[in-house]
Homo-oligomer: A and B are copies of this chain.
């Protein structure tokens, strides 16, 4: 992996932004922290917005990479898969990235330029993956999609909680309650009028 000047710079930019946030971002301070000049950021990314776009893409790239490393053995029970996912995301070591993710999410729903690309795959790519996996178990796509949607919401909602309160034990307990309830069997939507 030769990386390339630009890619290596981008990686450092993302790491730095994960620590400091993107709201009060200034090209000059960012460049100074990175030991270069703001001119370089403009040179490599064209503009501040261009840099933001690349940051968002890099975040997505890393999320996909993390996703790919999750245990998706069809033999694994869905409840265990969600437990494993939670364990990974709730780790304090990745909190800076979670924070950045939610900050960008908040900006994206407001339609700020450069960030909106984040919204495109932010839900559906996860649902699609789950539908595909469930199909191997013979679960109908509609059901799998709804359940995945719920599971994703639980994880993201609890992450929001965790980042605000820092209450790892409380959020762990809530996730476990969900997982156990899920194991007990969630109803299929078609049985309740959907």
Stretch at the interface among A1-9, A61-69, A70-78, A145-153: A145-153
Stretch at the interface among A27-35, A38-46, A98-106, A133-141: A98-106
Partner of A150, one of B102, B149, B174, B185: B174
Known: A109-B163, A150-B175, A153-B171. 5 other contacts (CB 8 A): A23-B112, A99-B110, A173-B194, A180-B191, A181-B186
Determine if A161 and B177 form an interchain contact, defined as CB atoms under 8 angstroms apart.
no
Shortest beta-carbon distance from A123 to chain B in Å: 5
Residue A93, interface by CB 8 Å: no
Residues of B within 8 A of A163 (CB): 109
Determine if B23 and A107 form an interchain contact, defined as CB atoms under 8 angstroms apart.
yes
Residue of B whose beta carbon sits closest to that of A103: B106
Shortest beta-carbon distance from A109 to chain B in Å: 5
Known contacts A102-B105, A109-B163, A184-B187; is-contact A149 B123 (Cβ 8 Å)? no
Partner of A174, one of B119, B149, B178, B193: B149
Residues of B within 8 A of A104 (CB): 106
Determine if B105 and A21 form an interchain contact, defined as CB atoms under 8 angstroms apart.
no
The residues of A with any CB-CB pair to B shorter than 8 Å are: 21, 23-24, 99-100, 102-112, 119, 122-124, 145-147, 149-150, 152-158, 160-161, 163-165, 167, 170-171, 173-178, 180-182, 184-187, 189, 191-194
Determine if A109 and B102 form an interchain contact, defined as CB atoms under 8 angstroms apart.
yes
Bound-state Cα–Cα, A147 to B181, Å: 11
